[in-house]
Structure 1
Amino acid sequence: MALKFLPFKRSSTADGAPIAVDLADRATARTADCSGTRVHYWEYAPACDTPASRTIVMVHGFRGDHHGLERVVELLPEHRIIMPDLPGFGASPAFAPGTHGTGRHDVPGYGAFLASFLDTLGLGPDTVLLGHSFGSIVTSHFVAANPGRVFPLILVNPIASPALEGPKGVMTKLAVFYYWASARLPARLGNALLRSKLIVYVMSVTMAKTRDKALLAFIHGQHHAYFSGFANRDMLLEAFQASVSGTVREVAAKLALPTLLIAGSEDEIATLPNQHKLLGLLPDGELVVIDKVGHLIHYETPEPAAEAINNFLERHPAP
């Protein structure tokens, strides 16, 4: 097991100009029928092929979509990257009843979807799997249930303990009530509450650690543009309940492949002490800690995250 600290790196432009992601030359929007769900996904072709080039499937976090990880994608030009909008989020519809196991938007449901997605695209065991936040729960449980299916595993801001146990436990309980009430209120009022610009802004401010005005503007813009792209209130409640109850820790001992944890030193959702505990449970784990960032590594510090990913993949080539 290994532990490494990486310094904070400025992610804004030197003159404070607006931040923009430019992947037009690499990105292709596609759809695939995965066991009854017509999922939308994006394929980012490698800008240059090298002997170290890999195919990486990335799984975004709760209330996100493929846009959230594009700053990291931009810094991995030698790799082919595939990112679905998880069913119920972004452009992908919710699960139809009875599909993907129970048809629920929970960890087993998304795990069944991920298995179908990899099979549908013909992605073999040399595929790299990366999950961010809630995506770390989905991907780790999938790997534990399907040994040898991918290699290796990368978890960004991994959820190492149930949210109700953390220092923000009271806030999590309030969030549980918020999602529960929003699902029970009349549809118009419940949807308005879930998509409230004020609440989305508060969530964004709470998670961001940077003081860079251009970067903050980018983060808030991303959250306002994509954080409310969910199919319906019921699936959102199911996914939220899964996000605050499931953990990587539950299956850590079963992750019998090289696993990289990329954590933020100031993460209040996936706290650093719990990352160290998680590292101790992994059979073959490494922990990279990025300084001065919290739960938004993918937005605030994509450079050191991409550096850690490339370094990890160089040391763990395709089997």
Structure 2
Amino acid sequence: MIVREPRVPSPYRRLLESVAVREDVVRVAGSDTAWWTYDTPGADDDSPVVLAVHGFRGDHHGLEPVVAQLTGVRVVMPDLPGFGESTPLEGEHSVAAYAAWLTAFAAAVGLDESVVVLGHSFGSIVTSAALADGLRASRLVLVNPIAAPALSGPRGVVTRLAVFYYWAGAALPEAAGLTVLQAAPVVRFTSLAMVKTRDRGLRRWIHDQHDSYFSRFADRRVVLDAFRASVSSDVSSYAARVAVPTLLIAADRDDITALPAQHELRALFPDARLTVIDGVGHLIHYEKPKEAAAAIRGFVA
């Protein structure tokens, strides 16, 4: 695992300073799962609880800008096993394994069926799979949901390059493969491919976030397993079996899932609404967290 501390101050740091944060660790499915509790301004023991799951190769830091914009809710956010400060699962890191882990995690930390579950990007697949397979919750929020197979997205060629990149990381000897998978130029290329904002300061901070957190995975096996899971499944596989009200927060410039696919995904859920945020791509949580939080607040209320 590469640990590099951020060098660019967060534009949301002052808002985050008003959020009370507590860190804990719980043993779930063979993983020592690190998790954080965020009490946003106005939250108390009777406030709605949001269980949030981050995306591929990220950790809990990624969704903090959205948390910073929320009020009156408690957010529980773990690092996915094998990423950030959580140790790996026992066995393969598949969508099914992550979904089972999430259900067990919710039970282990005492979350009941009133919880609102939120997933971003790969987290949208994990959370949808978990609810489809029996995780009890009151609502589901998906930010930048993976609505269709990644290889069919607007930039499918880039995704195919990513497949080759991870294949090379797997084919090389252990040390060389890990070096390739953590290569700083590749992390920066990925960041440049996703960012849409023209704000130079915000772009610099986003790249620094990826530089700092995108290579905090436990080992090569974990990241290769998770990548295969991320490109072999999507939310549409689980939508029909999600029985709770669902909010999709999509972007009009998302290069991983085109907007028409988001409209098609909404129709697959028994009860879903779609909010589209303009002028942003797959990084709603970094570039438009205020708009995302506003949609979440209205839905939870």
- Normalised to the residue count of structure 1, the TM-score between the two structures is 0.88
RMSD: 1.6
The separation in 2 between residues aligned to 1:278 and 1:93, in whole angstroms, is: 33
Aligned twin of 1:57: 51
| Cα distance, 1:61–1:204 mapped onto 2, change above 3 Å | same
Match for residue 235 of structure 2 among 248, 255, 271: 248
Task: Tell me how far apart the structure 2 counterparts of residues 68 and 305 of structure 1 sit (CA, whole Å).
Answer: 13
Give the percent of matched residue pairs that are identical in Structure 1 and Structure 2: 49
Bigger mean CA offset, 192-201 vs 117-126: 192-201
1:137 and 2:132 matched: no
Deviation at 1:233, TM superposition (A): 0.8
State the secondary structure of the residue aligned to 1:142: helix
Confirm or deny that 1:233 pairs with 2:220.
yes
Match of 2:5 in 1: none
Q: Deviations over 1:43-89 (max 9, x none)?
A: 11232137983110100000000000000001113111011000010
The unaligned stretches of length 5 or more in structure 2 are 1-8
| TM-score, normalization by structure 2 | 0.93
Deviations 1:128-162 (A, max 9, x none): 10000000000001101116x00100000000100
CA displacement at 1:188 relative to structure 2: 2.3
Structure 2 Cα separation of the partners of residues 299 and 52 of structure 1: 29
Show the counterpart of 1:171: 158
User: 21, 24, 44: which one pairs with 2:13?
Assistant: 21
CA offsets 1:152-209 (integer angstroms, 9 cap, x no match): 0000000010011223222212211111211221222212211111111110011000
The count of aligned residue pairs is 291
1:7-66 per-position Cα deviation (integer Å, ceiling 9, x unaligned): xxxxxxxxxx96243535511111011132211111112321379831101000000000
8 Å contact kept, 1:18–1:214: no
- Alpha-carbon distance in structure 2 between the residues aligned to 1:162 and 1:173: 12
Segment drifting more, 76-85 vs 127-136? 76-85
Distance 2:126 2:140 in 1: 12
Compared CA separation, residues 177 and 123, structure 1 to 2 (3 A): same
Question: Aligned partners of 1:306, 1:167: CA distance in 2, in Å?
Answer: 26
CA 49–166 in structure 1, closer or farther in 2 if over 3 Å, else same: closer
